[in-house]
Structure 1
Amino acid sequence: MPGDREDEICQKALELLSDLCSKGEVQNENCLDFIYHFRDLARPRYTDSGMHQSIISN
């Protein structure tokens, strides 16, 4: 799918920017945003199905 390929390219670009910012090779006011965003993407997502059930049943 073309959209999947675009997402993959954007993800790789974000990874490269984060890496360059972390190493200090790029000085930009948005470097921390790139680093934090990429770090958040790598963080596992947990869902609390009990909470969803509680909300739905009310």
Structure 2
Amino acid sequence: MARNKSLPKKLRLGKAKKISGNVPTWVVQKTKGKVRWTPHSRRHWRSQRIKS
């Protein structure tokens, strides 16, 4: 990927990074461990690309 990125690409990458974080601990406790991750956090950087 280019070192110099366009603003829309940067915004998409930033959003993907925020989404891919862990679920808060209180959510895991409230759902009794049934919810441990979001579908977004299952994305792998090498196998799934973000639209450019």
State the TM-score bracket (shorter-chain normalisation): 0.3 to 0.5
Give me the TM-score of the superposition, normalised by structure 2: 0.43
Q: Which has more radius of gyration? A: 1
Q: Which has the higher contact order (CA 8 A, sep 6+)?
A: 2
